[in-house]
Amino acid sequence: MAERLIFPDLDSLAQAAAEIVVTSAQAAIAARERFSIGLSGGSTPRPLYALLASPAYAPRIDWPNVHVFWGDERCVPPDHPDSNYRMARETLLDHVPLLPDNIHRMPGERDPEAGAGAYDAHLRLFFAADGEDVPRFDLLLLGMGGDAHTASLFPGTAALGETDRWVAANYVEKLGAWRLTLTPPALNAAAEIVVLVSGADKADALDAVLNGPTDPGRYPAQLLQPENGRLRWLVDRAATRQSG
């Protein structure tokens, strides 16, 4: 059963998310000397990433044991203004002592199919070292669009139906753009998923996803059903206007 936590605003939501990241990192590193986190793109996570880089939070995470991945990426170079990697680098990665080899960037600059294949293979190697045959991220941070997409699983797109690959190249008609995205089986292999949703423009989609008819083709965030993991929705008051 998904847990829903409601906060007055994005700042308090970001603080709660930062505490979850710290707790998850400390537990994973204590257990296996490694913490694998998948970052979300978009704008909602910016205050969270800034908090994690701040003196209040950064010292609480053993950064050299952290491995950073992405849930999705735009098919652009890493220095492009739209790059999810660039946003994370500017707000977090450049400000904490991660090991460069532990930053596992999605190759948005490559041909989409080749980039997806390369990242898929990279994930299989990384998690095989743990004896895992699924990409069991310790924590996956995701967002949700006003059309109920998550990662780059947009309504009506091909990647929604992917059942074998962990990473797909997904053409998004409405954007006229390619994306790289974790697929539903990869997302749902995570030990923990936290979805961050903020703003009145998300209220209709959030209500449909949480309370509407089951229709993941139309509301892709409904696909988030971790096989053996915890799912938490961290939402602010403005995004719950309709769903309460």
Give least dist CB 106 to ligand 6PG, A: 10
Nearer to ligand 6PG, 39 or 98 (CB): 39
Residues of this chain that bind ligand 6PG (CB under 6 A): 40-44, 71-72, 84, 143-145, 149-152
Nearer to ligand 6PG, 71 or 229 (CB): 71
Nearer to ligand 6PG, 71 or 135 (CB): 71
Nearer to ligand 6PG, 13 or 189 (CB): 13
Most distant pair of Cα atoms in the chain: their distance: 45
Give least dist CB 23 to ligand 6PG, A: 22
Q: Tokens standing for 172?
A: 């998004």
Position closest to ligand 6PG via CB: 143
- Strand order across the 72-74 sheet: 72-74, 177-182, 167-172
Output b/e per residue, 1-25; b: 16+ Cβ within 10 A. eeebeebeebeebbbbbbebbbebb
Q: Rounded to an integer, what distance in angstroms lies between the CA atom of residue 183 and that of residue 166?
A: 5
Give least dist CB 241 to ligand 6PG, A: 16
Give least dist CB 90 to ligand 6PG, A: 15
Question: Phi and psi dihedrals of 233, rounded to 5?
Answer: -100, 120
CA 105 to chain centre: 13
Give least dist CB 79 to ligand 6PG, A: 16
Nearer to ligand 6PG, 57 or 70 (CB): 70
Output b/e per residue, 72-104; b: 16+ Cβ within 10 A. bbbbbeeeeeebbbbbbbebbbebbebeeebbe
Nearer to ligand 6PG, 41 or 112 (CB): 41
Picking from 127, 113, 115, 70, the residue whose alpha carbon sits closest to that of residue 93 is 70
Give least dist CB 211 to ligand 6PG, A: 20
